[in-house]
Amino acid sequence: MERIFAVPLKGGAVTDVYMLSSMDELSGKLQEYDRSIFISDENASKLVERIPEGAVIIPPGERMKGWDSVSRMLSGALELSLARDGVFIGFGGGVVLDLAAFASSVYMRGARLVLIPTTLLSMVDATLGGKTGFDYKGIKNLVGTFYPAEAVLIVPETLRTLPDSEFRSGLGEVVKHALLSEDTRLWKFLKENHDRIMARDSEALSEMIRLSLEVKIWYITRDPEEKKGIRSALNLGHTFGHALESVNGFSISHGEGVAWGMHMALRAGTALGITPENFREQAFSLLSLYGFDCRYPIPDDGFPAFMKAIHSDKKKKGGSVKFVLMEGQGRPVLTALDDAVVRNAVAGFN
């Protein structure tokens, strides 16, 4: 077990990120938390040999991401007589981790929190930075808090059994981090190690995750509460992507939406003269290498619904939607976009 990062966060909090070489090593580490509640879903919990007593195991899926699941976790903690120094241990993908993190953040106004992501998406995205939450009235993560985990434990071995579609979903965020990175290591690594990565070679995954997290950490430590606009860069591709997910009834994965959205943001950027055309081409090529279809057009008759989804994006602030565009690698800019620019980006394929 190696501590790969100690991420400084708001109010002096620190999240320690550990890379673990096996589930056995994880079992050993979990012994440290004697007053704790284990929280997982029915899929992820299959990776664990022995489910701890008093665990809360919810059904899988986004539809579980509501108050009822949080309530089950709070009740579980009460039944275990956990005090504020009790540890909520989330084990699973983004849904379980966001729920466990939210529950820990409000239990007695804040219990301890340890997160163990078991999907690529949650390893590189959901576990750092302290975003917790659940869906409300059909709006994703409408209810939530900022509450960083004290420790994130990453076991790349858990990715071996991850469904392909979920693995690809995580890769979308990894490519995003490559675009947002000021240096070229992650981009280069992705270009040169495609086969090892797709074969889920543990060593390659470990390195890819480490490089990807480094980029995310760069952004969140500079703006821990999302107040300076720096952290917003991590939304690259998300405004377009969420809208696509939304008009498709969430039938495409988050990562696919983000991958598509990134390309749309790059297209909007080139149209406005913000993004150099060769940067867009390189990014498109990387996305294509990992099998993302980034030329899916929004048909004319679908455009009104698409724009409605754009405008209901919860990131709107003071009434206007800000998009993340790219001036080049590692150089995001926040800007509002005219509907016409959006339309040309998502429909004007040649």
Site stretch for a second copy (CB under 8 A), options 19-27, 80-88, 167-175, 212-220? 80-88
Cβ-based nearer residue to a second copy, 11 or 299 = 11
- At a CB cut-off of 8 Å and minimum separation 6, what does 10 contact? 130, 146, 148, 224, 225
Residues numbered 42-61 forming contacts with a second copy, rule: CB under 8 A: none
Q: Binding a second copy by CB under 8 A: which of 3, 46, 84, 295?
A: 84
User: Encoding tokens for residue 234?
Assistant: 């991590």
Query: Which 302-341 residues touch a second copy, going by CB under 8 A?
Result: 314, 316-319
* Element (DSSP H or E) covering residue 38: strand 36-41
- Cross-strand partners of 113: 88
Least distance (Å) between residue 34 CB and a second copy: 11
Binding mask 213-252 for a second copy (x = CB under 8 A): ------------xx--------------------------
Contact map string, positions 9 to 28, toward a second copy, x by CB under 8 A: -xx-----------------
> Shortest approach of a second copy to residue 55 CB, angstroms?
19
Q: Which is nearer to a second copy, 85 or 301 (CB)?
A: 85
Residue 332 exposed, middle or buried by CB count within 10 Å (0-12, 13-18, 19+):
buried
Nearer Cβ to a second copy, position 10 or 185?
Answer: 10
Q: What gap in Å lies between CA 265 and CA 57, rounded to an integer?
A: 39
Tokens of 206: 């470990």
Each residue 134-173 as x (binds a second copy by CB under 8 A) or -, in order, gives --xx-x-xxxxxx---------------------------
Q: Which is nearer to a second copy, 74 or 326 (CB)?
A: 74
Whole-number minimum distance, CB 103 to a second copy, in Å? 9
Binds a second copy by CB under 8 A, chosen from 3, 28, 71, 183 = 71
Q: What is the spatial distance between Cα 323 and Cα 262, in angstroms, rounded to a whole number?
A: 10
Q: What tokens appear for 223 in the block?
A: 């703006």
Instruction: Determine the residue type at 226.
Output: E
Query: What DSSP state is assigned to residue 334?
Result: E
Query: Shortest gap between Cβ of 109 and a second copy (angstroms)?
Result: 4
Q: Parallel, antiparallel, or unpaired: how do β-strands 134-136 and 139-143 relate?
A: antiparallel
The residue among 79 and 281 lying less far from a second copy, judged by its C-beta, is: 79
What is the CA angle 55-60-62, rounded to 5? 120
- Which of 113, 74, 108, 67 has its CA nearest to residue 90? 113
> Measured in whole angstroms, how far is the alpha carbon of residue 279 from the centre of its chain?
24
The single-letter DSSP state of residue 50 is S
Contact (CB, 8 A) for 141 and 98: yes
The contact set with a second copy (CB under 8 A) reads: 10-11, 67, 71, 74-75, 78, 83-85, 105-110, 131-133, 136-137, 139, 141-146, 225-226, 314, 316-319
